[in-house]
């Protein structure tokens, strides 16, 4: 919204500079987005005194003038009839840009040089009819700035109002805010209406058929008016805020709207059929042509202002072409009304019409301002149009609610704002913007909200007003007084982040897939028909068929990610994903959510070079990743055992192991079945591990167990036994672990051999046992004795043979 500084000064004395005023308005919540010097184009317009006039040798209607511009004499070609020697006129020098956009330059007119332009008031938008030059006081010194000579120093402020402050969509509304923070009074326009003639209720009537959409409608009638151009002061006021003057009657309605915030409309009374007004909703498909000469088809929800036969205006939006003010208009009916904001907003949007009136009605106008604005417009029209005011006012008022009174606690306000204002100070602040305040007790006051403040509906709004009026920048900075306590992160997040760190340290990259998958994903990984993972949580409104259900496994998403990467020539991948799966449970309203971890490795661990060929990933690479992860999480006793061939259909039989911790299965690791890979377009071997992260998390110790650095050396002995080819080495390791030899520090497999001279169906397995004592160096005799006993027990327990 644009406001003129000189116009504002009619309602409030302004002592602040333009910059100080802009800052103060912004701090009060009326953000000033820009300041424009209205007469900036007059910077190069000076007082020019004509010292010589002669006839143009090549044009009968032009004259040659010698003009003193303060810096010497210049030649000007002029066609104005009132130019004469010794007179002073506005002189626009070369380089001036006039309001119509014309840039002056030195030119030749009919063979004579012209170095500027003597101007009329109309050409400078300073009034007048353009019939002659603007005559100035001849005593003014040539070269004096026209701005200084005529005191033309008005500025226009562009204010970016928020939708909750419709009261400031007017000069008086903005002036009220300025008066409040300057601590001065507001000067409302004073006027008196001329004596009326006749009675309006005998000449016209107003019928409201939709009081819910039009709670108040007022009208006054003038007769004998004459349509003419507005006086200069009125045109200047409108131009100062970017409104184009039209004629005295229409300009008055625009002026009063800008002044008071109440939109008005003027009807040619003689064009109203039946000499009456009917406010109703439109009939479906009803045609109507607005003032901009555009035809519209109306809907049944649109509010229309009608005469006795037809619509004459779209209520609160725009008048009709059939009742506009014309040069022959002599009787004018002035409308001042209140309309439902929601209805106006819908109508404006549906018709594609946004006007100054609809902009205000959409945000809400003050119903108590209806008659003030109406009488103000009637007074100005009678004054400027020379008409007679018909006695009386039609005022159809269907409002039900009265004024709003809200309680305000001084203590609660200070606690919320961090201020130390007393009851009197708060009352004065609110009264400065026309709230009425009455003390109820020492802490509480009752506040009557003015009708123009539609944004104040609850006590918290009053507290905001106190903060705004006292100055946000003056509220003291108050730091929280509560002790700040560190928050312990959730164990789930700690575990998740730790796993990420470990795997990223192993060279993996994290993949994040959608939790929504296609039901066909289960077919692609060849799950059995009775597999519980085929039971999905189905989305009611899926994004697409490819994301219609919630996932029950992370494996399809990970294989799809591998396929996308390999399709883009990223053939060497180490990826992992941490995410939840959703498993429906009979009788439960929500699925069970489990956090899982899946990782894949495919391609080569090292690239070929001059000294080494490619080294492709194998089972032991991914098994080593799982072992490293468990070790980093300090989970001990993790073991791997062969998986039954049919227990996991998407893993390759004989190439997959079950991961166990403390006899509990927590996942699997191995090679993905080639038939499954084919369904994902993968033609290279993929190794995969899958872990139940929630179960694994429960095995992570709460605290780390520290051990002193050994002071004494260790010694080792080997055990080699002959066992069945099908026996897992983990059975040997577990058996030795169960014997409970306290001096055994470490135990690991270091060799497996089959073939001659080992009998068919057998294999040779070699274990290395590391011994160490914490209190001294072990002697060979002691170690040999323990080792012999341990070997004997191992052979007897598992039925192994010793090599010959």
142 and 102 in a single domain? The answer is yes
347 and 450 in a single domain? The answer is no
* Measured distance CA(70)–CA(609) in Å, rounded: 88
233 and 306 in a single domain? The answer is yes
pLDDT at 552: 93
The answer as to whether 195 is a domain residue is: no
The answer as to whether 793 is a domain residue is: yes
146 and 160 in a single domain? The answer is no
Say if residue 358's pLDDT is above 90. Answer: yes
- In this structure, the strands spanning 573-583 and 509-510 are parallel
Q: For 325-388, what is the HEC assignment?
A: CCCCCCCEEEEEEECCHHHHHHHHHHHCCCCHHHHHHHHCCCHHHHHHHHHHHHHHHHHHHCCE
| Its pTM surpasses 0.85 | no
pLDDT band at 646 (very low <50, low <70, confident <90, very high): low
* Measured distance CA(604)–CA(624) in Å, rounded: 15
Give the containing element (helix H, strand E) for 423.
Answer: helix 423-431
**How big is the chain, counted in residues?**
804
- Total number of domains in the chain: 6
pLDDT above 90 covers what percent of the chain? Answer: 69
* Residue 729 DSSP SS3: helix
pLDDT band at 312 (very low <50, low <70, confident <90, very high): very high
pLDDT at 456: 94
* Measured distance CA(123)–CA(129) in Å, rounded: 9
Task: Show the tokens assigned to 11.
Answer: 């309602």
137 and 238 in a single domain? The answer is no
* Measured distance CA(67)–CA(115) in Å, rounded: 10
Say if residue 83's pLDDT is above 80. Answer: yes
State how far the alpha carbon of 756 is from the alpha carbons of 728, 739, 752, 759, 760, in Å: 20, 32, 13, 7, 8
The range of the structural domain enclosing residue 159 comes to 2-38+155-182
pLDDT at 748: 86
* Measured distance CA(452)–CA(734) in Å, rounded: 86
pLDDT, one tens digit per residue, over 388-427 is 999 999 999 998 777 899 999 999 999 999 889 999 999 9
pLDDT at 645: 63
* Residue 186 DSSP SS3: coil
Say if residue 796's pLDDT is above 80. Answer: yes
140 and 223 in a single domain? The answer is no
Domain edge (last residue) among 397, 429, 446: 397
pLDDT band at 442 (very low <50, low <70, confident <90, very high): confident
State how far the alpha carbon of 644 is from the alpha carbons of 231, 621, 624, 656, 673, in Å: 101, 21, 21, 9, 14
631 and 495 in a single domain? The answer is yes
CATH of residue 782: 3.30.70.380
Angle in degrees, 0-180, between the axes of helices 410-417 and 459-470, rounded to the nearest 10: 60
- Find the range with the poorest average confidence among 402-406, 702-706, 712-716: 702-706
Say if residue 150's pLDDT is above 80. Answer: yes
Query: For residue 242, what is the DSSP state?
Result: T
580 and 687 in a single domain? The answer is yes
Burial annotation 391-410 (CB, 10 A radius, 16+ → b, else e): bbbbebeeeeeeeeebebbb
* Measured distance CA(254)–CA(234) in Å, rounded: 10
The answer as to whether 485 is a domain residue is: no
CA quadruple 642, 643, 645, 650: dihedral, nearest 10: -130
pLDDT, one tens digit per residue, over 473-494 is 888 887 777 776 777 888 888 8
Query: For residue 322, what is the DSSP state?
Result: G
223 and 350 in a single domain? The answer is yes
pLDDT, one tens digit per residue, over 720-765 is 999 888 888 878 888 887 888 888 888 888 998 988 888 888 899 9
Average pLDDT, rounded, for the chain = 91
The answer to whether 515 and 550 have CB atoms below 8 angstroms apart is yes
Domain edge (last residue) among 375, 397, 419: 397
The answer as to whether 482 is a domain residue is: no
- Find the range with the poorest average confidence among 50-54, 351-355, 591-595, 794-798: 794-798
pLDDT above 70 covers what percent of the chain? Answer: 99
Arithmetic mean of pLDDT, 21-45: 91
pLDDT band at 587 (very low <50, low <70, confident <90, very high): confident
* Measured distance CA(134)–CA(91) in Å, rounded: 10
278 and 345 in a single domain? The answer is yes
694 and 724 in a single domain? The answer is no
663 and 722 in a single domain? The answer is no
Say if residue 273's pLDDT is above 90. Answer: yes
* Residue 686 DSSP SS3: strand
Say if residue 644's pLDDT is above 80. Answer: no
pLDDT band at 175 (very low <50, low <70, confident <90, very high): very high
Handedness of CA 513, 519, 523, 527 (dihedral sign): positive
Query: For residue 450, what is the DSSP state?
Result: P
Query: Residues near 126 by Cβ (< 8 Å), separated by ≥ 6?
Result: 134, 150, 152, 232, 236
The answer as to whether 479 is a domain residue is: no
The answer as to whether 189 is a domain residue is: no
The answer to whether 282 and 346 have CB atoms below 8 angstroms apart is no
pLDDT at 593: 92
pLDDT at 595: 94
* Measured distance CA(339)–CA(362) in Å, rounded: 9
pLDDT, one tens digit per residue, over 210-264 is 999 999 999 999 999 999 999 989 999 999 999 999 999 999 999 999 999 999 9
The answer as to whether 216 is a domain residue is: yes
CATH of residue 446: 3.30.56.10
Say if residue 472's pLDDT is above 90. Answer: no
Task: Show the tokens assigned to 79.
Answer: 């066609």
* Measured distance CA(290)–CA(317) in Å, rounded: 10
CA quadruple 29, 30, 36, 37: dihedral, nearest 10: -90
Q: Exposed (0-12), middle (13-18) or buried (19+): which is 625, by Cβ within 10 Å?
A: buried
The answer to whether 561 and 571 have CB atoms below 8 angstroms apart is no
Domain edge (last residue) among 130, 150, 170: 150
């Amino acid at each position: 919204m644009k406001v003129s500084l000189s116009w504002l000064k009619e309602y409030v004395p302004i002592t602040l500079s333009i910059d100080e005023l802009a800052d103060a308005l912004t701090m009060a919540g009326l953000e000033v987005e820009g300041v424009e010097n209205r007469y900036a184009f007059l910077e190069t317009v000076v007082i020019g005194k004509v010292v010589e006039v002669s006839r143009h040798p090549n044009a009968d209607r032009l004259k040659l003038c010698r003009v003193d511009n303060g810096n010497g004499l210049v030649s000007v070609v002029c066609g104005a009839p009132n130019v004469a020697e010794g007179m002073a006129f506005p002189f626009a020098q070369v380089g001036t840009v006039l309001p119509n956009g014309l840039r002056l330059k030195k030119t030749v007119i009919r063979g004579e040089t012209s170095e500027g332009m003597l101007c009329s008031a109309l050409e400078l938008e300073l009034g007048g009819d353009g019939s002659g030059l603007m005559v100035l006081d001849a005593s003014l010194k040539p070269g004096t700035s026209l701005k200084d000579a005529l005191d033309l120093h008005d500025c226009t402020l562009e204010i970016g109002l928020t939708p909750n402050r419709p009261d400031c969509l007017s000069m008086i509304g903005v002036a009220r805010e300025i008066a409040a923070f300057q601590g001065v009074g507001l000067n409302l326009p004073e006027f008196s209406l001329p004596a009326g003639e006749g009675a309006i209720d005998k000449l016209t009537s107003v019928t409201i058929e939709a009081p819910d959409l039009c709670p108040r409608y007022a009208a006054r009638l003038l007769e004998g008016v004459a349509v003419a151009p507005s006086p200069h002061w009125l045109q200047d006021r409108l131009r100062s805020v970017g409104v184009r003057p039209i004629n005295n009657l229409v300009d008055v309605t625009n002026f009063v709207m800008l002044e008071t915030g109440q939109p008005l409309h003027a009807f040619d009374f003689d064009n109203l059929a039946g000499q009456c007004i009917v406010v109703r909703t439109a009939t479906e498909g009803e045609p109507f042509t607005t003032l901009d000469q555009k035809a519209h088809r109306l809907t049944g929800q649109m509010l229309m202002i009608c005469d006795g036969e037809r619509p004459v205006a779209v209520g609160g939006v725009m008048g009709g072409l059939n009742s506009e003010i014309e040069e022959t208009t002599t009787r004018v009916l002035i409308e001042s009304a209140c309309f439902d904001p929601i209805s106006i907003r819908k109508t404006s949007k549906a018709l594609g019409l946004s006007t100054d009136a609809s902009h205000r009605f959409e945000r809400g106008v003050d119903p108590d301002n209806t008659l003030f604005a109406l009488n103000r417009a009637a007074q100005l029209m009678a004054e400027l149009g020379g008409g007679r005011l018909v006695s009386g006012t039609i005022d159809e008022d269907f409002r039900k609610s009265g004024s709003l009174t809200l309680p305000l606690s001084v203590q609660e306000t200070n606690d919320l704002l961090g201020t130390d204002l007393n009851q009197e100070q708060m009352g004065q602040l609110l009264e400065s913007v026309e709230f009425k305040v009455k003390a109820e007790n020492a802490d509480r006051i009752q506040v009557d909200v003015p009708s123009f403040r539609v944004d104040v509906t609850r006590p918290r709004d009053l507290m905001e007003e106190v903060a705004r009026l006292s100055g946000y920048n003056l509220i003291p900075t108050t730091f929280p007084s509560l002790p700040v306590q560190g928050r312990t992160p959730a164990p789930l997040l700690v575990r998740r982040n730790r796993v990420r760190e470990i795997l990223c340290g192993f060279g993996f990259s994290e993949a994040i897939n959608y939790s929504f998958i296609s039901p066909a994903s289960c077919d692609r990984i060849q799950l059995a028909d009775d597999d519980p993972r085929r039971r999905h949580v189905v989305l009611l409104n899926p994004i697409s068929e490819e994301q219609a259900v919630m996932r029950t496994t992370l494996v399809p998403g990970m294989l799809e990610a591998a396929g996308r990467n390999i399709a883009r020539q990223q053939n060497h991948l180490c990826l992992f994903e941490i995410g939840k799966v959703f498993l429906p449970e009979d009788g439960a309203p929500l699925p069970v959510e489990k956090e899982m971890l899946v990782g894949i490795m495919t391609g080569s661990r090292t690239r070929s070079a001059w000294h080494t060929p490619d080294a492709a990933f194998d089972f032991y690479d991914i098994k080593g990743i799982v072992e490293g992860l468990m070790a980093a999480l300090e989970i001990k006793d993790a073991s791997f055992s062969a998986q039954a061939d049919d227990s996991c259909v998407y893993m390759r039989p004989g190439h997959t192991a079950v991961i166990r911790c403390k006899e509990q299965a927590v996942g699997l690791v191995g090679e993905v079945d080639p038939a499954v890979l084919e369904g994902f377009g993968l033609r290279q071997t993929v190794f995969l591990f899958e872990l139940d992260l929630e179960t694994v998390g429960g095995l992570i110790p709460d605290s780390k167990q520290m051990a002193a650095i050994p002071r004494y050396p260790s010694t080792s002995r080997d055990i080699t036994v002959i066992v069945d080819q099908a026996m897992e080495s983990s059975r040997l390791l577990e058996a030795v672990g169960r014997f409970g030899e306290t001096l055994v520090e470490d135990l690991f497999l270091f060799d497996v051999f089959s073939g001659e001279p080992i009998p068919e169906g057998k294999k040779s397995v070699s274990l290395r046992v590391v011994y160490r004592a914490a209190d001294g160096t072990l002697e060979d005799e002691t170690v040999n004795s323990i080792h012999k006993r341990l070997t004997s027990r191992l052979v007897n327990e598992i039925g192994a043979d010793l090599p010959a």
